[in-house]
Amino acid sequence: MNVFHKVTLEALKKNRTRTTVTIIGIALSTALSTAVTTSVSSLQHFLMTDEIERCGSYHVSMNDADPSAYQTLSANAEVKDIVYLDPIGYAMAGSENDYKPYLYLAGMSEHFTDLVSVRLISGEMPENSHEILIPEHLYSNGNISYSVGDTLTLEVGDRMIDQHTLTQHNPYTPPEELEDEQIPERFAARETVTYTVCGIYERPAFEEFSAPGYTCLTVDADDVPSEEALALWYTVKHPSRVYDFMNEIQLHGNSHTDLLMYKGISRFDGYLAVLYGLTAILIALIAFGSISLIYNAFSISVSERTKQFGLLSSIGATKKQLRHMVRFESFCVSIIGIPAGLVIGIVGIGITLLCVGSKFSALTESGQTMHLHASIPALVIAIVVSMLTVHLSAWIPSRRATKVSAVEAIRQSTDIRQERRPIKTPKWIYKLFGLSGMLGQKYFKRSRKKYRATVLSLFMSVVLFISSASFTTMLQNSVTSVFTKNQYDLRFYMEDCDMSTDAIRELLLADENVTSCAVTIPAYADGSMASDAFSEQAVKAEYLFGRESEIEGEVGSFLQLQFVDDTTFREYLKANGLNEADYMDPAHPQGVCVDKIITFDEEKGKYIDMNLFQCDSFDFHAKYTPLLEGYQFYGYEGDNGEIAVYRNEDGEETQLTGEEARVRRTLHIGTVLHEIPYFSDTNGVPEVYYPASVMEAVIGGTTPYERRNDANFVMTAPDHEAAVQSLHTALIEHHLPVSHLYDVTADHENEHNLIVIIKVFSLGFIVLISLIAVANVFNSISTNVALRRREFAMLRSIGMTSRGLQKMMNFECILYGTRALMFGLPVSAAMSLLIWHTIHHGLESGYQFPWQAMCFAIFSVFAVVFITMLYAMSKIYHDNPMDALKNDNL
Amino acid sequence: MVILQTEHLCKTYGSGENAVHALNDVSLTIHKGEFVAIIGPSGSGKSTLLHILGGVDQPTSGKVWMNGSDVYAQNDEELAIFRRRQVGLIYQFYNLIPVLDVTENITLPVLMDGQEVNQERLAELVETLGLKGREKHLPNQLSGGQQQRVSIGRALMNAPAVLLADEPTGNLDSKNSQEIVSLLRLSNQKYGQTLIIITHDENIALQADRIIAIEDGRITRDEVLRG
């Protein structure tokens, strides 16, 4: 160790506080960069895993490939793995989907699932060429159901037009949609094959939307590709060369662009460009914040040591040696700060992902959890950014230090540089704040550059804090406004079901995870009711605004009707102390109304509960369109919509006019309740519940009655995930569409998870960047105070009291704070408005001024500044003014 | 009339083996209007004595009486006010406030007191100190001699009873030095202020009414030249 290193190390040891703050600053900055880069690499890895889970890990796929292509590729040394799907043929499926009439049978080669994703729902993978996997959408989309263990005997053949064989990539056109000159395709049966259903799997990603057949997978019998058009998937040994390889091999294929993109191979595409762009912005922000902090630390250390430099220089140290000293100092603090920061960053993100990683499943189809994936490039970027930051921060002051001449340096005359013109302060400052205020203002104005770093870091923290806080709040509001939570957990819906609703309800209730199940058939009532039935709250909220009625004393209104299965309805009546005889008599049907609605309050900017009615019962005069036998209602025509138009199956039209075109019904609402039951579909209109048994009496002969067989089965299940699992099996067994089962709670949780993710990450970012700012402010203020030791001593020696000194410093604090807030608050307000503009589309949430965040920011800014100043001044107070005055005098 | 009196004044820096006795049992009496020069080699304790007399440094033991009141019996706040009103301190390195202009630096003790500046007195001081036309200059726009005049102006502004000058000419050439001493002498005679000056310059010392020599923290000679 040479003398310069020794001097530097001693200086670092002597200024323990500043060295510590500098190391903390470097560690924080590195931690933040590492956190950003590892988050991105983890996200990338997560997206990649999801893509593999959803589609497979192949690099290139080829449709309708020539068998020779398989041979060529297999023989190529660059190809790592290759799998294929050997077409067996088509069979008629009997599907209800006009565009998908076939089953498409194909044999998987060995190791097929290594490269292509096949996701089992139930059963097992086929083990021989007589076992078959059936896709789930054969039922949900085609309404054909098979169960595991079923035997299928199929006429297998080809789709032909003339002598051409058609493949999965040639969509099917139903004969009635063909143009005159088009030749319809025909099905040419080849053989009869019997298969056993071994499992049900999710619709494969490789089956195109317009594919004419439901893909059923078996095992390729001979494991040798046939002479027909194959589907191929392969991986290459050097993924980075995949695009070159595809060009070289001259075989038309589709690259697995998404996967390759997540691996970082590809042109800069949208998704990744945004991700990388965002990362770059965040890192730039961090670097900016850190440079100002670390630069300050070095610049302070350099000015404190200018005298030392002067002395060394006067006894013969070269400029290079002096610069080397500063660089050595930066090396010393980096060697501790950077590794510490790396560890903090990785551990921080690791813990964060451990806590919220599972919530990322909301973002993907495959429901993956996000794990920490600290890739080497991510760490290298973080280290390089931090090293550059430190180096740059040390380089500027080191140049300045060596530019000063030896004598000047010894005299420290440039330490607190001053402009050669008088510093003017407004008179009112002296009048209002006295001498202390005037001095404070003058000191503040004197070294603007020095203060700029402090003010800038405060400004940045304020803007970042407020804008990210308002971003999270707004996002949260907008998400919750779209997803107001229903009280039930699961919903299953059926249209025109063959099975009785009671039977389905029994089936669902039989599941051990389902605690209650109600069948609701929705309908509506449009008409009018007495205007005095409405509560003050409803009138005030302008709920009735613009709703007129032809009946005097009434206003136009709308009710949501729900016909609830009798069992549930009976329980509901009992729970509310209502008499069955009053409400379940088809001869005199009476409804139960729940008038509580959840509505958005523009003023308050949030959702509020509202009770619409002030009466206990009322009559509702509804108007319906009548049903016409053999016809379907088509629409209203005429100036006032007085003509109802109907069409039959052959497209023939008929009309009803005047009173004929209207069915008037009076709905008797026997009681108004205020609590929403679990089977309610809260949507901002009052709901009226009837037992299903009175449905015909209430809406029979009207158009809503047409949909009497469309039922919702709403269920409560404390463990909704387990319920979905077990119901899946039950539904498949009973040939009911699995895709009609909705996990409402999971949807809600996913939305909530998204908010949690945003909150955790933005909060983490805000906290860390604010810490950097705090360290920055701390460093620059405390050192500024230390550098002014002599001036303070001077003021004290000519009679300034400690209180006066404190007052002066307080005034400076106020100047720092107000300066930072003066720019910070308007910019943050503008930012939050900008954010609102970006995310408010399609949402009714109004702009909310971020008052809370602003108040917090104002408080924090002053707290940080004052606390730092108090700390710094406490050292000054312990000074003997004479010692300080004598200090460094030459 | 006695204005300043010290009793068994001691000041020790450090402790144990490292203890340095800057002042060792110094007792002296100074009368109103006296011009006292304190002389002695470097490190003899001259500056320490002056600073303790001015209320800026605490004695380890002993007492300082100014106008009959015990200076160090006062609390911090009172001591600050004492420094502001009763004494004027002049340093070798001027110690002006760099952000304040000439006028502001001179009037600083008045401003600190929150009082109105006596414009007549200010004008007279500026005139006497030869700073006319430079009122709005900042310290770094002035020469050493001018800066020292500003610091004298600051010391005189509140018309303190005692003026304490710590080698006021140590940083100046002989012409400037003579001018500064003349100014101090003038204020001593004109306003009847007590002037205590530390100097290495024999010529300046010989202009004083009394010379006190200090060595190793003790008074070795106390000689009245005129009076």
Residues 398-427 of A with CB under 8 A from B: 416, 418, 420-423
d(CA A637, CA A656): 10
Are residues A688 and A522 in contact, defined by beta-carbon separation less than 8 angstroms?
Answer: no
Q: What is the pLDDT of residues A688-706, one digit of tens each?
A: 999 999 998 888 888 888 8
What residues contact A125, with CB distance under 8 A and at least 6 apart?
Answer: A113, A118, A133, A198, A199
CA distances from A388 to A18, A25, A191, A345, A385 (A): 21, 14, 72, 18, 5
What is the reported pLDDT for A414? Answer: 47
* Interchain pair A418, B136: CB under 8 A: no
CA distance B144 to chain A (A): 14
Q: Please indicate, yes or no, whether residues A455 and A591 belong to a single structural domain of this protein.
A: no
Q: What is the pLDDT of residues A34-84, one digit of tens each?
A: 988 898 888 888 888 888 988 899 999 988 888 888 888 888 888 999 999
What tokens appear for A498 in the block? 């063959």
What is the reported pLDDT for A545? Answer: 60
Q: Please indicate, yes or no, whether residues A238 and A192 belong to a single structural domain of this protein.
A: yes
- Please report residues of B whose CB lies closer than 8 A to that of A432: none
What tokens appear for A460 in the block? 């940045």
In a domain, A273, yes or no: yes
What is the reported pLDDT for A731? Answer: 83
Q: Does A435 touch chain B (CB under 8 A)?
A: yes
d(CA A15, CA A11): 6
Angle between helices B102-112 and B119-128 (to 10 degrees): 140
Which of B80, B98, B101 lies closest to A796 in CB terms? B80
CA distance A780 to chain B (A): 20
pLDDT band per the 50, 70, 90 thresholds, residue A428: confident
Q: Please indicate, yes or no, whether residues A397 and A409 belong to a single structural domain of this protein.
A: yes
Which of A418, A797, A886 lies closest to B89 in CB terms? A797
What residues contact A56, with CB distance under 8 A and at least 6 apart?
Answer: A115, A116, A117, A205, A233, A256
pLDDT surpassing 50 at residue A842: no
What tokens appear for A721 in the block? 């995930």
Farthest-apart Cα atoms in chain A, separation: 114
Any idea how long chain A is? 890
What is the reported pLDDT for A275? Answer: 65
Are residues A462 and A828 in contact, defined by beta-carbon separation less than 8 angstroms?
Answer: yes
| Amino acid occupying residue B83 | R
d(CA A254, CA A60): 5
* Interchain pair A798, B112: CB under 8 A: yes
Strand boundaries in A397-506, DSSP class E? 490-494
The DSSP output letter for A483 is -
What is the reported pLDDT for A890? Answer: 31
pLDDT surpassing 70 at residue B98: yes
Nearest CA in chain A to B50: A882
What tokens appear for A140 in the block? 């949900």
pLDDT band per the 50, 70, 90 thresholds, residue A397: confident
pLDDT band per the 50, 70, 90 thresholds, residue A840: low
- What does the pLDDT average to over A760-776? 75
Q: Please indicate, yes or no, whether residues A250 and A264 belong to a single structural domain of this protein.
A: no
Are residues A246 and A266 in contact, defined by beta-carbon separation less than 8 angstroms?
Answer: no
pLDDT surpassing 60 at residue A410: no
Q: What is the pLDDT of residues A227-268, one digit of tens each?
A: 777 889 999 998 888 888 888 888 778 888 888 877 777 654
DSSP labels for A821-870? HHHHHHHHHHHHHHHHHHH-TT--PPP---HHHHHHHHHHHHHHHHHHHH
In a domain, A793, yes or no: yes
pLDDT surpassing 70 at residue A136: yes
d(CA B179, CA B169): 10
What tokens appear for A272 in the block? 């990744």
What residues contact A502, with CB distance under 8 A and at least 6 apart?
Answer: A519, A565
What tokens appear for A225 in the block? 């590709």
Task: Write out the residue range of the structural domain in which residue A101 sits.
Answer: 60-254
d(CA B214, CA A594): 102
pLDDT band per the 50, 70, 90 thresholds, residue A415: very low
In a domain, A401, yes or no: yes
d(CA A64, CA A735): 34
pLDDT surpassing 90 at residue A325: no
CA distances from A66 to A56, A73, A80, A220 (A): 22, 11, 19, 17
- What does the pLDDT average to over A410-431? 62
Mean per-residue pLDDT over chain B, rounded: 87
CA distance A14 to chain B (A): 20
What is the reported pLDDT for A416? Answer: 46
* Interchain pair A798, B101: CB under 8 A: no
In the block, tokens 């006032």 appear at: A640
Phi and psi at residue B56, to the nearest 5°: -105, -10
* Interchain pair B101, A422: CB under 8 A: yes
Which of B51, B100, B109 lies closest to A799 in CB terms? B109
Q: Please indicate, yes or no, whether residues A112 and A242 belong to a single structural domain of this protein.
A: yes
In a domain, A882, yes or no: yes
Q: Name which residue leads in pLDDT, A729 or A332.
A: A332
What is the reported pLDDT for A888? Answer: 45
Domain ranges in chain B are 34-56+74-224
Angle between helices A851-877 and A802-839 (to 10 degrees): 150
Beta-carbon-side half-sphere exposure of residue A262 (alpha carbons within 13 Å):
16
User: Chain B residues contacting A, CB < 8 Å?
Assistant: 47, 51, 54, 56-58, 76-77, 80-85, 89, 91-93, 95-101, 108-109, 111-112, 114, 136-138, 140-141, 154
What is the reported pLDDT for A434? Answer: 76
What is the reported pLDDT for A668? Answer: 92
pLDDT surpassing 90 at residue A369: no
d(CA B37, CA B203): 11
Q: What 3-state DSSP class applies to A622?
A: strand
SS3 per residue for A99-138: CCCEEEEEEECCCHHHHCCCCEEEECCCCCCCEEEEECHH
Q: What is the pLDDT of residues A453-483, one digit of tens each?
A: 678 777 877 887 787 777 777 766 655 554 4
- Please report residues of A whose CB lies closer than 8 A to that of B75: none
Q: Please indicate, yes or no, whether residues A305 and A319 belong to a single structural domain of this protein.
A: yes
In a domain, A142, yes or no: yes
- Please name every residue paired with A640 in a beta bridge, in sequence order, or none if there are none: none
Which of A119, A88, A122 is CA-nearest to residue A103?
Answer: A88
Beta-carbon-side half-sphere exposure of residue A838 (alpha carbons within 13 Å):
11
Q: What is the pLDDT of residues B103-136, one digit of tens each?
A: 988 988 888 777 888 899 899 889 888 889 988 8
Phi and psi at residue A66, to the nearest 5°: -70, 145
What residues contact B21, with CB distance under 8 A and at least 6 apart?
Answer: B10, B11, B12, B216, B217
- Please name every residue paired with A620 in a beta bridge, in sequence order, or none if there are none: A667
Phi and psi at residue A618, to the nearest 5°: -160, 165
What tokens appear for B29 in the block? 């009496």
Q: Please indicate, yes or no, whether residues A470 and A544 belong to a single structural domain of this protein.
A: no
What is the reported pLDDT for B31? Answer: 92
What tokens appear for A60 in the block? 């290139």
Q: Please indicate, yes or no, whether residues A124 and A210 belong to a single structural domain of this protein.
A: yes
Q: What is the pLDDT of residues A539-576, one digit of tens each?
A: 777 766 667 777 788 888 888 899 999 999 999 999 99
* Interchain pair A799, B95: CB under 8 A: no
Which of B56, B80, B108 lies closest to A882 in CB terms? B56
What is the reported pLDDT for A534? Answer: 87
Are residues A194 and A152 in contact, defined by beta-carbon separation less than 8 angstroms?
Answer: yes
- Please report residues of A whose CB lies closer than 8 A to that of B89: 797-798
Q: Please indicate, yes or no, whether residues A48 and A66 belong to a single structural domain of this protein.
A: no
Mean per-residue pLDDT over chain A, rounded: 81
- Please report residues of B whose CB lies closer than 8 A to that of A435: 108, 111-112, 114
Q: Please indicate, yes or no, whether residues A47 and A70 belong to a single structural domain of this protein.
A: no
d(CA A95, CA A125): 24
d(CA B24, CA B215): 10
In a domain, A499, yes or no: no
Q: What 3-state DSSP class applies to A223?
A: coil
- Please report residues of A whose CB lies closer than 8 A to that of B114: 434-435
DSSP labels for A232-260? EEEEES-GGGHHHHHHHHT---EE-HHHH
Nearest CA in chain B to A805: B112
| Amino acid occupying residue A403 | K
Are residues A255 and A60 in contact, defined by beta-carbon separation less than 8 angstroms?
Answer: yes
d(CA A717, CA A516): 7
Q: What is the pLDDT of residues B7-38, one digit of tens each?
A: 999 999 888 888 888 899 999 999 999 999 99
- Please report residues of B whose CB lies closer than 8 A to that of A803: 77
What is the reported pLDDT for A652? Answer: 85
Q: Name which residue leads in pLDDT, A615 or A419.
A: A615
Q: Please indicate, yes or no, whether residues A131 and A247 belong to a single structural domain of this protein.
A: yes
d(CA A281, CA B92): 55
Are residues B3 and B67 in contact, defined by beta-carbon separation less than 8 angstroms?
Answer: yes
In a domain, A540, yes or no: yes
- What does the pLDDT average to over B62-77? 89
pLDDT surpassing 50 at residue A744: yes
Q: What is the pLDDT of residues A583-612, one digit of tens each?
A: 998 889 999 999 888 776 666 656 677 888
* Interchain pair B99, A797: CB under 8 A: no
This model's pTM is above 0.80: no
Q: What 3-state DSSP class applies to A496?
A: coil
d(CA A265, CA B47): 76
Which of B51, B77, B80 lies closest to A882 in CB terms? B51
CA distance A837 to chain B (A): 47
pLDDT band per the 50, 70, 90 thresholds, residue A125: very high
- Please report residues of B whose CB lies closer than 8 A to that of A446: 98-99
Neighbouring CB atoms inside 10 A of A324's CB total 18
Q: Please indicate, yes or no, whether residues A338 and A451 belong to a single structural domain of this protein.
A: no
pLDDT band per the 50, 70, 90 thresholds, residue A450: low
What tokens appear for A281 in the block? 């912005």
CATH 3.40.50.300 corresponds to the domain B34-56+74-224:
yes
Are residues A298 and A393 in contact, defined by beta-carbon separation less than 8 angstroms?
Answer: yes
CA distances from A875 to A326, A516, A860, B139, B159 (A): 26, 70, 23, 27, 33
How many separate domains does chain A show? 4
* Interchain pair A801, B82: CB under 8 A: no
Residues 795-814 of A with CB under 8 A from B: 795-804
Mutate to test the interface with B, among A420, A421, A798, A886 (most CBs of B within 10 A): A798
What tokens appear for A84 in the block? 């294929």
In a domain, A638, yes or no: no
- Please name every residue paired with A670 in a beta bridge, in sequence order, or none if there are none: none
Are residues A680 and A486 in contact, defined by beta-carbon separation less than 8 angstroms?
Answer: yes
CA distance B88 to chain A (A): 8
- Please name every residue paired with B21 in a beta bridge, in sequence order, or none if there are none: B12
* Interchain pair B95, A790: CB under 8 A: yes
Last-in-domain residue among A234, A254, A274? A254
The DSSP output letter for B117 is P
